[in-house]
Amino acid sequence: MKQLLGFIRKEFRHIFRDPRTMIILFGIPIVQLLLFGYVITTEIKDARIAILDKSHDEVTREITHKLLSSGYFKLDAMLDNEGQIDNIFRQGNVKEVVVFQDDFGKRLKRDGQANVQVIADASDPNTAQLLSNYTNAIVQDYLQKKFVNYKIPLEIKPQVRMLFNESLVGAFMYVPGTMALILIIISAMMTSITIVREKEMGTMEILLVSPLKSHHIIIGKVTPYLILSVINAVTIVILGNLVFGVPVRGSLILLMFVVILYIMLALSLGILISTIAASQFSAMFVSIMALMLPTMLLSGFIYPIDNMPVVLQVLSNIMPARWFIEAVKAVMLKGVGAGYIWKQLLIMAGMTIFFLGISVKKFKLRLE
Amino acid sequence: MMISVGNIEKSYGEVKALRGVSLEVKEGELFGLIGPDGAGKTSLIRILVTLLKPDVGSATVNELDVVKDFRKLRNQIGYMPGRFSLYPDLTVEENMTFFATVFGTTIEENYHLVKDIYQQIEPFKERLAGRLSGGMKQKLALSCALIHAPKVLVLDEPTTGVDAVSRKEFWEMLKRLQKMGITILVSTPYMDEANLCDRVALIQDGKILTIDTPEKVTQSFGHKLWAIRSDNMYLCIRHLREHSESDSVFAFGEYLHVTWKDQDMQADEMEKYLSDLGHTNVEVKRTEPGIEDVFMDLMQKHDN
Amino acid sequence: MENEDIVIRVRDLVKKFGQFVADDHLSFDVYKGEIFGFLGANGAGKTTAIRMLCGLLEPTSGELTVAGLDGFKQREAIKRRIGYMSQKFSLYEDLTVNENIRLFAGIYGIPTRIRKEKTEELLEKLELTSARKKLVRDLPLGWKQKLAFSLAIIHDPSIVFLDEPSGGVDPVTRRRFWDLIYEAAHEGITVFVTTHYMDEAEYCDRVAIMSAGKIVALDTPEALKKEWDATSMDGVFLKLARSNE
């Protein structure tokens, strides 16, 4: 035990004395969160839209006004007929066209139903998705406030994801994703690098010749990063809440449990990489190629899984981050309990045991 | 026997690093493993400190098998690898404390062992190990290797790349440790360091050329050795090699070391030969062979 | 020696980095065809001095002539008149012997028409003709060393700088390597050896020993050994170090 504590203390010293490690550990998470939170989501600011209002009544005018005053949309043109829609998209001036059917207000009051058609430029599927979600939500919001006493569903199916995101902040989707990315970088990349560094420096030779057992070395190496990663995850949640107003609707304890499980999974991947990589450079390379990029591209973080080709959808199943993001979203945004995310938890736990098993087996007690 | 090596072979893929090595080191001995880069020194040492397994053969250290009893053995060996293998971002003291803790001991417990060496670097104990001079790094590494009071100290090329002053100090430290009863196995590419050991094994190309005390090794040189020089060393080498009776001609610092097939070859004969070929300031004298002469001689015998 | 035989002429050469004086008024001459050893512990100012001699660094003050060229104004020209070899980085391990030769011949601007002829000549001399298609990484260390040296002088430079050329190799290989160096010197190439292996210094015609930015000794190994009453250059170095403390 004393040996292990000595080892962990040494590991903390390595971390706190290396400015580069400190920047990666604490600078990058914050910058990345702000970057994803602000830069990526502000694409939705002042998106140019066109409106085809066949009704021209009070309701459509009010909805139009709501859309344009939301700050998300900017009117490019009022259209006169459907023939213009195709053209205006081709010109590339607008991202979305909103079409109100004729007698919109009358139908709404009479039948409890009116149709608004949202046509988005899907050449950029993410933006299109976001725009249509925003439009839906604004229309919903208007209806709820205007017709408090009515129970009138609109004939538009809102996106499930946006259902839980009334305030329409894009950062909601990016906080879990950023957490998934940062935790995998810190946990997997940093642990693999720090273990491989000992191999490169030759200190591993001395550690191996000492009475330390391999689990001492592994636990000693991993513990500081586990602690720091948890701190990081908490920082991200707090920052997401303070800066972007992302709520934690579910149990905080459950959320931390999900986070710690995911960190352990990432750490076991880090150890696995360290048993394969011979140099710090290759450890970094493998971490980025095998973990960071797939996490960004295939986990549903940036590109919705539903929009992927089938092959990639299947592939996304083996991305730890996919299950993590699903679980975190469920706990943070939907506020569900453990019973709703048992599948995700089970998959992550299974992956952790699997990778840990391989890496302990592969971790060498000798030099070959 | 403190160390006993029996017919060890070791290959890395196609490359044969050790081709049947056997040797024994007695308790309390300062034993030198002498050979150039790539001779197999590091492989043999890594097998002895349980870092590698031999392909063929076996070895014991303090009666413990290096493969089967490697756990027990790791407590008893002090090992200093070839490269500086401490943490450059930890201070001198932190390095010492860390290695003491890893071996389940404290600096205080075995302070008497490292006192001599550690006292020299103690004034700098707050300094990061990476900022120490070469000689001081070495002292720190040696202190760390000794902190758990090992029975055997194994050092892989501790003096490579170290300046002459630090090298001399280092050997003096080893001698003192030997007096405290620690058995020491040290490898080096410097032939001249052989004379500082009790016994040496000359190793080349994965094979032991000879094992004996340094004196007996040099006595085993079976030829008369001549030191020869002239103003033009290049032509001197060529002309002597062209001589039908010359056996080996090698540059040795400012002289050439020459042996003859005919042991009765006389100095004036050699002088005349060179002078006739236009050499000036010719000097010919008898000289005593060193470890390096023996090494080269044995190397060539093995090659044939 | 005659004046025209001086290949490197150094007078009161100083190099400062800010307040730090790396080289403090160095003065020495190196003659044509000489094997000149340049010794000193790490941090003694050796590396800085050699960088100036190679035209890689501009001196702060003093005079420097290398192969008849000015060490302040003609640094680019100096680079073309010298060769350089360090044991570690001279050859491309993942190229074949042939490819390495062609590459270096190209770098040093050997005309294409004599390149082929030069390559054959070199392969024959090094007894590498049968190994020409082998990757350099598969060659024994001794062969690599000889190849690296031969490539460093492929453009017939006035001076070749060798950085710890023979440390660590077996004694026979080392002798064979020194045979090559002697031959190059015999053919008129000045050989400038920097090393902290004292036994390498024994092979030099003259050696300069640097300490704390200054040259503290310069003579033949024999004279130095006599002066310091030592049997080897190692001993000279030890006593010098002690006297400077």
- pLDDT tens digits along C139-172: 888 888 889 999 999 888 999 999 877 766 788 8
The answer to whether residues A129 and A225 belong to one domain is no
Give me the mean pLDDT over the B132-143 stretch.
89
- Are A100 and A186 in a shared domain? no
User: What mean pLDDT do residues C188-206 have?
Assistant: 88
Q: What is the pLDDT of residues B28-53, one digit of tens each?
A: 999 999 998 889 999 999 999 999 99
| Co-location of A28 and A66 in the same domain | no
Q: Are residues B109 and B152 in the same domain?
A: yes
pLDDT for C186: 93
Is B180 touching A (CB cutoff 8 A)? Answer: no
Domain for residue B107, yes or no? Answer: yes
Q: How far is CA A25 from CA A32, A218, A234, A280, in A?
A: 11, 20, 13, 17
| Together in a domain, B95 and B176 | yes
- Cβ–Cβ below 8 Å for B237 and C179: yes
Same domain, residue pair A195 and A335: yes
**Partner C, chain B 269-298, Cβ-Cβ below 8 Å:** 292, 295-296
What pLDDT is recorded for position A159?
Answer: 35
pTM of the model: 0.80
At residue B53, the 3 state secondary structure works out as coil
> Residue A169's pLDDT band (boundaries 50, 70, 90)?
very low
Structural domain contains residue A14 = yes
Task: List the chains bordering chain B where 3 or more Cβ pairs fall under 8 Å.
Answer: A, C
Handedness of CA B172, B176, B178, B179 (dihedral sign): positive
Q: Measured between alpha carbons, how far is A263 from A309 in angstroms, rounded to an integer? A: 29
- Domain-embedded: residue A288: yes
Q: Hey, CA dihedral for A159, A161, A164, A167, is it positive or negative?
A: negative
HSE-CB for B130 with a 13 A CA cutoff: 7
- Residues B242-275 have pLDDT tens digits of 999 999 999 988 899 999 999 899 999 999 999 9
3 state SS for chain C: CCHHHEEEEEEEEEEEECCEEEEEEEEEEEECCCEEEEEECCCCCHHHHHHHHCCCCCCCEEEEEECCEECCCCHHHHHHHEEEEECCCCCCCCCEHHHHHHHHHHHCCCCHHHHHHHHHHHHHHCCCHHHCCCEHHHCCHHHHHHHHHHHHCCCCCCEEEEECCCCCCCHHHHHHHHHHHHHHHHCCCEEEEEECCHHHHCCCCEEEEEECCEEEEEECHHHHHHHCCCCCHHHHHHHHHHHCC
Q: Are residues A249 and A353 in the same domain?
A: yes
**Looking at A116, A145, A163, which one is the last position of a domain?**
A163
Select from B223, B298, B285 the least CA-distant residue to B256.
Answer: B285
d(CA C66, CA C10) in angstroms, rounded, equals 9
Q: Residue B36: which of C169, C198, C234 has the nearest Cβ? A: C169
From B38, B164, B252, residue closest to C198, measured CB to CB:
B164
- What average pLDDT does chain A have? 82
What is the count of structural domains for chain A? 2
Q: Residue A71 has what pLDDT?
A: 81
User: What is the mean pLDDT of the segment spanning B217-223?
Assistant: 93
Q: Measuring CA to CA, how many Å separate A368 from each of A365, B11, B253?
A: 8, 12, 41
CB contacts under 8 A, B 79-118 vs C, are none
Closest CA to C207 of A130, B254, A21: B254
CATH number (domain holding residue A152): 3.40.1710.10
Q: How many CA atoms lie within 13 A of C85 on its CB side?
A: 26
Based on the structure, what is the number of domains in chain B?
2
Chains A and B touch (3+ CB pairs under 8 A): yes
Same domain as A305, residue A210: yes
* CB spacing of B300 vs C172 below 8 angstroms: yes
Q: What is the pLDDT of residue B5?
A: 96
- Chain A residue with CA closest to B86: the answer is A203
State whether B212 and B231 are in the same domain: no
Q: Determine the 3-state secondary structure of B247 from DSSP.
A: strand
Domains (range + CATH), chain C: 3-91+159-243 (3.40.50.300)
Please report which confidence band the pLDDT of residue C237 belongs to, taking 50, 70 and 90 as the band edges.
confident
The predicted-structure confidence for A57-77, as pLDDT tens digits, reads as follows 888 888 888 888 888 888 888
Q: Is residue B302 part of a domain?
A: no
Residues with Cβ within 8 Å of C136's Cβ and at least 6 positions away in sequence, in order, are: C91, C92, C93, C94, C95, C96, C97, C100, C144, C147
> Which two tokens mark A226?
């586990």
| Tens of pLDDT, residues A2-57 | 889 999 999 999 999 988 888 888 888 788 777 776 665 545 677 888 888 888 88
CA distance B260 to B238: 15
Residues A66 and A128 occupy one common structural domain:
yes
Say what the pLDDT of residue A42 is: 46
Contact B253 C169 (CB under 8 A): no
CB B162 within 8 A of CB B168: no
Residue range(s) defining the domain that contains residue A206: 2-40+170-362
- State what percent of residues in chain B have pLDDT above 70: 100
Residues B162 and B99 in one domain: yes
* Residue B245's CATH number: 3.30.70
Contacts of A287 (CB under 8 A, 6+ apart): A185, A188, A189, A192, A193, A270, A273
In angstroms, rounded to a whole number, what is the distance separating the alpha carbons of residues B38 and C142? Answer: 11
pLDDT averaged over every residue in chain C: 88
Do residues B152 and B62 lie in contact, with contact meaning Cβ atoms separated by under 8 Å?
A: yes
Boundary-marking domain end, from A163, A198, A228: A163
CB contact under 8 A, B71 and A211: yes
Measured between CB atoms, does C141 come within 8 Å of chain B?
Answer: yes
Residue B293: inside a domain: no
Look at residue A125 and tell me whether its pLDDT is greater than 60.
Answer: no
Tokens of C104: 């270096």
Cα distances from A257 to residues A36, A118, A120, A233, A234, in angstroms, run 24, 40, 39, 11, 12
Any domain includes B168: yes
Q: Which residue has the tokens 């160096």?
A: C181
Within a domain: residue B98?
Answer: yes
**Are the C-beta atoms of residues C166 and C177 closer than 8 Å to each other?**
yes
Q: Which residue has the higher pLDDT, A306 or B100?
A: B100
Within this chain, do residues B212 and B235 fall inside the same structural domain, yes or no?
no
Q: Give the Cα separation of A158 and B280 in Å (integer).
A: 104
- Is the sign of the CA dihedral A26, A31, A32, A34 positive or negative? positive
Asked if residue B102 and residue B25 are part of one domain, the reply reads yes
Residue B68: both structure tokens together = 């089967």
Provide the CATH number for the domain around residue B182.
3.40.50.300
Of all residues in chain A, what percent carry a pLDDT higher than 90?
Answer: 22
Do A220 and A144 sit in the same domain of this protein?
no
Whether residues B134 and B265 fall in one domain: no
Taking an 8 Å cut-off on Cβ atoms, the answer to whether B102 and A7 are in contact is yes
Distance (Å) from the alpha carbon of B66 to chain C's nearest alpha carbon: 28
Spatial neighbors of C121 by CB under 8 A, at least 6 apart, are none
Confidence of residue A241 (pLDDT cuts 50, 70, 90): confident
Q: For residues A28 and A122, state if they share a domain.
A: no
Say whether A367 and B52 touch across the interface (CB within 8 A). Answer: yes
Model confidence pLDDT, tens digit, residues A246-271: 788 888 999 999 999 999 999 999 99
Q: Is A367 within a domain?
A: no
Domain ranges, residue B264: 226-288
In this prediction, residues B111-132 reach a mean pLDDT of 90
**Residue of chain C with shortest Cα separation from B191:** C171
Nearest CA in chain C to B133: C42
Output the pLDDT for position A149: 61
* B303 in a structural domain: no
In a shared domain, residues A197 and A290: yes
Of A206, A209, A211, which is closest to B104 when you measure between CB atoms?
A: A211
Q: Calculate how close chain B gets to A367, using CA atoms only, in Å.
A: 5
> What does the pLDDT read at residue A158?
37
Per-residue pLDDT reduced to its tens digit, C18-73: 889 999 999 999 999 999 999 887 778 888 899 899 988 999 999 999 999 999 99
Residues B239 and B195 in one domain: no
In a domain? residue A153: yes
Tell me the torsion sign for CA atoms A163, A168, A174, A176: negative
For chain C, percent of residues with pLDDT exceeding 70: 96
**Is residue B298 in a domain?**
no
State the pLDDT confidence band at A157, using cuts at 50, 70 and 90: very low
The pLDDT assigned to A33 comes to 75
Q: Which of A209, A204, A366, A364 is nearest to B154 (CA)?
A: A209
**Of A163, A184, A204, which marks where a domain is finished?**
A163
Considering the domain architecture, whether residues A175 and A238 belong to the same structural domain is answered as yes
A193 and A311 fall within a common domain? yes
Q: Is A103 part of any domain?
A: yes
- CA distance linking residue B39 with residue C6, whole number of Å: 42
Beta carbons within 10 angstroms of residue B176's beta carbon: 12
A13 touches chain B (CB under 8 A): yes
pLDDT of residue A153: 57
Express each pLDDT in A80-97 by its tens digit. Answer: 888 888 788 777 778 788
CB nearest to C221's CB, from B189, B204, B254: B254
The length of chain B is 304
Identify whether A368 is part of a domain: no
Same domain? B165 vs B280: no
Average pLDDT over residues A200-211: 89
Note the pLDDT tens digit of each residue in A279-331. Answer: 999 999 998 888 888 888 888 777 767 767 888 888 888 889 989 988 998 88
ipTM metric: 0.84
B252 and C CB contact within 8 Å: yes
Tens digits of per-residue pLDDT, C105-117? 888 888 888 888 8
| Distance separating alpha carbons of residues A168 and A159, to the nearest angstrom | 12
- Evaluate whether chains A and C are touching (3 or more beta carbon pairs less than 8 Å apart): no
In three-state form (DSSP H/G/I as H, E/B as E, the rest C), the secondary structure along chain A is: CHHHHHHHHHHHHHHHHCHHHHHHHHHHHHHHHHHHHHHHHHHHCCEEEEEEECCCCHHHHHHHHHHHHCCCEEEEEEECCCHHHHHHHHHCCCCEEEEECCCHHHHHHHHCCCCEEEEECCCCHHHHHHHHHHHHHHHHHHHHHHCCCCCCCCCCCCCHHHHCCCCCCCHHHHHHHHHHHHHHHHHHHHHHHHHHHHHHHCHHHHHHHCCCCHHHHHHHHHHHHHHHHHHHHHHHHHHHHHHHCCCCCCCHHHHHHHHHHHHHHHHHHHHHHHHHCCCHHHHHHHHHHHHHHHHHHHCCCCCCHHHCCHHHHHHHHHCHHHHHHHHHHHHHHHCCCHHHCHHHHHHHHHHHHHHHHHHHHHCCCCCC
Residue B86, in any domain of the structure: yes
Q: Give yes or no for A212 touching B (CB within 8 A).
A: yes
